[in-house]
Structure 1
């Protein structure tokens, strides 16, 4: 099988590429240049897809004896991931750029080019598994729950899954991967994992957004509409946020308040008690299925709303307006723009972008 190994410069993709070589595949390594900032360098665990990462990936490819290329996907990344991130915040939603990157870049743009060039599959260092099911190929959680990345891969379609290769899916732990990298003599064996949003390496999302979209003073109100503070840009706030509110009017019960809603049209931020973050129902129209679609319009599932959140049993109903999911117990702090991934045990059923939520706690 001809395999294009996506090599980020980290230990996971390095070991994945090495295992693909050991499996006897014809492997070519490729690093995706996602930024045209020529001086971009990595700082510890912050940032990725930097010059340093490209050099690390090249050294691994040389060690493995495979061809290596750097492909410039910066324009596509800017349009499909960064621009989407900005527009989602401007619309009062909380986006997940890693989901968009997997959907639009790694398993759309990259896979499309790979197939055009005659490759059979794209290999990545994601921790997830592919299995043959009764109705076709299925995406499942990885063996290591702590490193499982099936959530961020929930955007993949049946066609994309047919051309993907996840050599790390059955690995019991990240420690095993690092030990294997060291045994192979790969210099990235002890390289720290990347964290935060890759195009905001300093972690200051609020400052980055203010620079991109500007600031505009607005009101912070409680659930009854009473003004309790002010802000310099609603886009800087996310549902569930507690810190940095600087409210001028304390709550009557003296308890801390949290962001419950962001209203971009009126440039208003709504705050309230923690219990008001409990969400009894979520819905969305932008959905996809990771393999075969459900056989019925109503089905039981587990719903997961963050990469490292616990799945919650739920009932899903598919209709003309998309999917409505009702969990058996309220979800905590859900924001429009987040991705809900549905599971059947370890199998990923599909995903949708949340655009509507219903509080489990009525006003008053």
Structure 2
């Protein structure tokens, strides 16, 4: 059987290639993707070989994609936890029609009411959940979500569900700000405004937000957050600040004001058991799926395009050239079967 996968071949260039689909070994399962979701920030960074990325360290070719959902199409010997036809979250499987994973590293979707289209976002949402959990939000605390890409939109929804109020967002794109307001943001601001910091403080009784989720990965946005966050506030660093191009006065903005900077990379999460503020990847997947089933989290409003994987070269060309690409792009793998 022939499958297809997407590969970054050089800076700014992606291709779709065929491969022979292998059969799973003992303890493994063969998964067939229905959908995979582009993580624009991470994938663009690797496509453009930015500092502190996989392509910067090991070069090309590079296999992008970590977020999808599909079905089990074959099981290896000794696998009892999954059966052919089971619907699953496909995490860290790449943008490809088929992938082989360990059975014990694959989460089955038990609720038939959950559409695989929504389930495909689970790995991305786990990053946002991690960042919000690390803030240890209490009901009534104010929060700012800096950046309204996919991670930021989910962080907005999770912060609201955690009882934060007001929930502010910041983004340069007016369309993204408008979407944030529809999804429950108290106010949506442009960080380019000359009085941006003053606006943030005015919306938080002059104190600044108690907590910030920094999603942009831009050093200038982190500097702004340090200027507007409340005394002894917390900043969760969800976005990957790959380029340190803005000098920060740590004595003035961190040390003297008692600010907590919290790394929220997925490598910091619990591996085996969840505890307050430290949940495992699978437990965050389960949380997201329950919230989707209950209608408490939305994915569809942030989807800009659902495309065939055959269009990947053009899609990634746009991603390379446009620093503010469409919010949500999903590959529909049924179109290449």
Q: TM-score, normalised by structure 2?
A: 0.28
Which structure has more helix as a fraction of its residues?
2
**Bigger fraction of residues in strand:** 1
- Structure having the higher Rg: 1
**What TM-score results when the alignment is normalised by the length of structure 1?**
0.27
